[in-house]
Structure 1
Amino acid sequence: MPVSANPPMIDRADPRFELLKKGNNARFPDPAVPPPSKIAVCADGAECAAALQQIIAAGLRPTVRSGGHGYEDFWQNNPGGVIIDLSTHDTVDKGKYGYRVGAGTMLGVAYAQLYKKYGVTMPGGSCYAVGAGGHISGGGYGVLSRLFGLTSDWVTSLDVLTVDAHGKVIERHIDKDHDADLFRACRGAGGGNFGIITNFYFEKLPTAPSQVADAGVSFAWEDMTEVKFTKLLQRYGDFFEGRGKDKDTWGLFTFFGVSPASGPQARIGMHAQFCNPDGTARDVAVLHEFFDLFRDLNPLPNGGGGGRNGQTMAPVLQNKDGRPYDISYRHWYEATVNGGVGGGSRGKYKSAYMKQSFSAEECAAAYKFMKSPSAGAMGSVMAIDSYGGAVNDPARLADTSVSQRASIMKLQYQCYWRDKEQDPIHLKFMDDFYTSIYTGPQVGPQYQGTPMGPRFEGCYMNYSDADMLRYKFWPELFYGTGDLYPFLIAVKKKYDPNNVFHSSMSVRA
């Protein structure tokens, strides 16, 4: 490593410390937990290696932040240790190993740089400020993933720092032929397990679409009976269990968001973005086919919904074809790189992969909780994303660490609030809601309360949820019931023998 590598070490007396120890989720850091002693701000791999060696030599624990969007406290819960902050390592260029994206690069910055310089993109997430490090190492799913697969599927090599049994930092450039086991582990198992990834390399990336078509509708809670709600969820799921597996639909990404009926944001909204396999939106027949499934359920134009004071708004037909939506045609870049950083709220998150459409039991439970007048329900969202398509390539089971390759939908349960005093009611609501959805005959007896069994594929590690630690089988929820987790344990023992990199949900050695 270069002798000149000397990353800034920010201690508790520095006015920057209080800001840099915080992330996107205002629940953390917990004021009851002692803070780290320092924060090392590293602008490249050399500075990161130097900082890591200093930390190990001092007998301290390192944790790593790239964008700070982790849902739990994995990097912040480090009493007396040192946080390595990679957020200024945001290089995006092209060289010997192909396209390079530094681990601290925000996704929006990566999209802008890759497109403007090279005309390509990554099929990653839609939140502008999420950091590449955690996002890609955990799989990296986004709006284009049904068309192109996960971002981690495109990674062809990595720069990663590991620590050997003697405390020496080892700088590695790994690929399918060099430390192939570690390379596979770093493509989907999640960050903070084996070492510190500093750079991702891609020999090829998909050409960015030139145009996308957006459309959306919403549905009023005022006339939303349980029967109608069940039809909505099941028609949505049925499409992706059947027609959505056909390749001509893979350019269709949909978001179905359900907010509580009694809250200030009471809404049931459905949004879709579509492009053809050739990167254009000239033929939107698939988009119409999808939305036509709901035409008899009184959809409102997107942005509509129930009126005030209990008055129901009638559907408004805004389309010349008699459809209750307009299609907005935009350049892919304008639709993707649109700013927005989020953050500032306290939050709790849960996830589930679904291989089949919704059962009657799941619909009934969702309806019950979304109709609840409980204060704990306020600020919650049941977000149902389309999944599958190119993601479900069985060949990727062997060379990545993403086990969920047969799902058709990915659900994210979210709740946001401001006051710490409200933590108990919101956390309880989320836990009760989630557990209720996955309790019943649709779930195997050994997995009650969790999305496991013939109809499900567990949870998404990038939507980490420490509640799942209550189950002894929690690794199966995130890594499947096959040989992936035993493989990851072997990689952990080999490359991190002293368990330097760990959290409450890291791979156990």
Structure 2
Amino acid sequence: MSEISTLPATVVRAGDKRYPALSRGFNQRWIAEPEYVRLVRTPEEVRAALGEAVREVPEDPARTRITVRAGGHCYEDFVCGEDVRVILDVSPMCGVSYDGSMKAYCVEAGATNRHVYGHLYPVSGKALPGGSCYSVGLGGHVPAGGFGLLSRQYGLTVDYLYAVEAAVVDEDKNVRLVVARRDDEDPRLRELWWAHTGGGGGNFGVVTRFWFRGLPQPPEQVLLTALAWDWKEFTKDEFATLVTAFGEYFRDHQDPSAAAGKLFAMLKLTHVSNGQIGLLAQVDVDDPDGHRAMAGFIAALDGRIGPSATKIRSVMGEHFVHMDVPRVMPWLTATQVLNSRGENRCGKHKSAYLRKPFTERQITAMWTYLGKERYTEYANKQALIQVDSYGGAVNRPPYRTAARQRDSILKVQYQVYWPKHDPREDTHIAWIRDIYRATFEATGGVPVADGEITDGCYIGYPDVDLNDPCWNTSGQSWETLYYKDGYAKLQEVKRYWDPCNVFRHGQSIRPGTGR
């Protein structure tokens, strides 16, 4: 038994040297001043800590929320905010093991993508098709319906979720640990499992463990490509051709059994001040058609535009991959190469699912706000639109999850970053709001759910502007944009499993009214 495991539960309060670091997350915009941060190491410690927290009387009536931190990557103030009283930090719970009784791989909620890739794959040959950023915690990533570079080949993380354990609070504020399986005889437990397959983190309880069945084996080797084009060589027509070609390629290659259907790519449409537009792509080369698929993909983009492809020379959002030539390497090595830099900056994010390629009107709006011709008074190298390939195995029925967007071909993330204490913070936020609203002007400033082109937003990239009628005039609520037809069921799960609404934030599930 390790020395750490025998120590008493760790409580960190103001005045402790650890307090400033543990009261904030990845996004430096959000810094809390909780009464304390409690680091928990076991499910039983979680149960006890939560039970204690819900019975305490707040020292400050303005700070009443109890929040949960895993990797600390929440983009809004849902975990670290001015109204937070207690942060339960599950990051010490990072075990990865095989559970023979469950016939499933067990991953504790504080484990990050790094733990899962680096610990599960070497001993089992299995992988979770999760994200590229190593420091993201599974406690938030999985319930959001996380995705990654293997998702077009193998689907979403939640497609493999067999069971979840959570500490929940009843109407008398008693806390207990429950395990919810997808095949549980109790319908209430099945519903709780379902809610964790895309219903968002921090809504129903404190997740302690996940169990996964049927995990895929990643490719032995992949072909990784990174290239860029210099902004100065682009005309508006060439920009439109590149963006259209990217969307059309993934519209036309959706079969996850084909090499081209397995190929994953990220198009980095940076602000012109960055100097370059970037492209990262990966394909399975265990598939004999893998090399041909990559060559065809690059030709479909680079072969249709005038600018010459070159190396990536700068950071683009959360990635910087400097490679001379496309390179074949083991899957785990490629995953490590693509790992996000994880710089702690302030930031704002927005998202969209696209069922079809961008329209001409949408491309014109992006071109305008990226600053090539107009809006040149704004310059920020770390302002960009990242367009991810999507679909393939993600869109393969049956769909039994709370993640409802299952026929999209692209997933888009609007991003802007700036250093802490930057006096232009309001300007950066204004830019991302303006470019997003302009892109989706035809549908009320947001990518409406069940639209001809779009299908709503991703709860894993939360954006409280969706709540605001100044920025969302679509007639669709944020609940619909995230959850579509699944929201009413999520409300009923919330009403039953969190009747006191202990777990709440700016976009938490509101309890239903009962059956």
TM-score, with structure 1 as normaliser: 0.89
RMSD, aligned CA: 2.1
5 Å-filtered alignment, 1:461-480, equals: 461-470=459-468, 471=472, 473-480=477-484
Distance 1:17 1:216 in 2: 39
C-alpha distance after superposition, 1:322-356 (max 9, x if no partner): xx984200000111134655132111111100000
* Number of the residue aligned with 1:149: 155
Deviation (angstroms), 1:103: 0.7
The alignment partner of 2:412 has SS state of strand
Corresponding residue of 2:264: 253
1:283 positional shift: 3.8
1:10 aligns with 2:12: yes
Letter in 1 for 2:110: G
Partners of 2:312 and 2:54 lie apart in 1 by 56
Could you tell me which residue of structure 1 aligns to residue 345 of structure 2?
345
Q: Determine the structure 1 residue equivalent to 2:318.
A: none
Question: Where in structure 2 are there 5+ consecutive unaligned residues?
Answer: 1-5, 59-64, 315-322
Contact between 1:209 and 1:275, CA under 8 Å: does it hold in 2?
yes
Question: In structure 2, how many angstroms separate the alpha carbons of the residues matched to 1:305 and 1:40?
Answer: 42
Closer, same or farther: CA 305–15 of 1 in aligned 2, 3 Å:
closer
Given the alignment of the two structures, is residue 83 of structure 1 paired with residue 87 of structure 2, yes or no? yes
- For the pair 1:366 / 2:374, whether they are aligned, the reply is no
Counterpart in the other structure of 1:321: none
Runs of 4+ in 1 over 4 A off after TM superposition: 279-282, 338-341
Aligned partners of 1:54 and 1:240: how far apart in 2? 50
8 Å Cα contact 2:270-2:382 kept in structure 1? yes
Q: Which amino acid aligns with 2:386?
A: A
Q: Give the Cα separation in 2 of the matches to 1:80 and 1:87.
A: 18
- Between stretches 409-418 and 200-209, larger displacement belongs to 200-209
User: What amino acid is the match of 1:466?
Assistant: V
Equivalent residue, structure 2, for 1:69: 73
Q: Match for residue 199 of structure 1? A: 209
Alpha-carbon distance in 1 for matches of 2:340, 2:229: 26
Distance in 2, Cα, partners of 1:259 & 1:421: 22
For the pair 1:269 / 2:292, whether they are aligned, the reply is: no
Task: Determine which of 234, 246, 257 is the counterpart of 1:224.
Answer: 234
User: Does the C-alpha gap of structure 1 residues 46 and 29 become closer, same or farther in structure 2, counting only changes over 3 Å?
Assistant: same
Quick one: percent identity of the two aligned structures?
31
Alignment map for 1:409-488 (pairs within 5 Å): 409-418=410-419, 419-440=421-442, 443=443, 447-452=444-449, 453-470=451-468, 471=472, 473-480=477-484, 482=485, 484-488=486-490
Q: Which amino acid aligns with 1:259?
A: T
Paired AA for residue 392 in structure 2: G
Structure 1 residues 282 and 99, CA gap change in structure 2 (3 angstroms): same
Q: From the superposition, tell whether residues 359 and 282 of structure 1 become closer, same or farther in structure 2 (CA, over 3 Å).
A: closer
Distance of aligned partners of 1:376 and 1:28 in 2 relative to their CA distance in 1, 3 Å threshold: farther
Secondary structure, aligned partner of 1:128: coil
Closer, same or farther: CA 90–78 of 1 in aligned 2, 3 Å = farther
SS at match of 1:99: strand
Aligned to 1:432, the other structure's residue is in SS state helix
Does 181-190 or 247-256 show the bigger shift? 247-256
Of 367, 370, 375, 2:378 maps to 375
The total of aligned residue pairs comes to: 472
Tell me which moved more, 452-461 or 182-191: 452-461
Q: Residue deviations 1:415-457, cap 9 Å, x none? A: 11113422100000110010000002xx3xxx44444422111
Q: Does 1:356 align with 2:362?
A: no
Task: Return the alpha-carbon distance in structure 1 between the equivalents of residues 181 and 80 of structure 2.
Answer: 30
8 Å contact kept, 1:140–1:151: yes
The corresponding residue for 1:313 is: none
Contact 1:301 1:325 in 2 (8 A): no
User: What's the CA shift string for 1:174-229, capped at 9, x where partnerless?
Assistant: 11214001110011111011111111101221112100001233222222111111
1:253–1:274 CA contact under 8 A, matched in 2 = yes
Q: Deviations over 1:119-168 (max 9, x none)?
A: 11100000011111100110110000000000011010111111000000
Alignment-derived partner of residue 331 in structure 1: 330
Paired residues for 1:107-256 under 5 Å = 107-176=113-182, 177=184, 178=186, 179-245=189-255, 247-248=257-258, 249-256=260-267
Quote the Cα distance in structure 2 between the aligned partners of 1:125 and 1:381. 19
Q: Which amino acid aligns with 2:159?
A: D
Conservation of the 8 A alpha-carbon contact between 1:213 and 1:281 = no
Q: Hey, what's the Cα distance between the residues in 2 that align with 1:414 and 1:304?
A: 18
Against the structure 1 CA distance between its residues 344 and 101, is the aligned structure 2 distance closer, same or farther, given a 3 Å change threshold?
Answer: same
CA distance in 1, matches of 2:68, 2:429: 26
| Counterparts in 2 of 1:430 and 1:151: CA distance versus 1, 3 Å | same
Per the alignment, in what secondary structure is the counterpart of residue 423 of structure 2?
Answer: helix
Residues 90-142 of structure 1, C-alpha deviations (whole Å, 9 max, x = no match): 00111122111111111012111011111111000000111111001101100
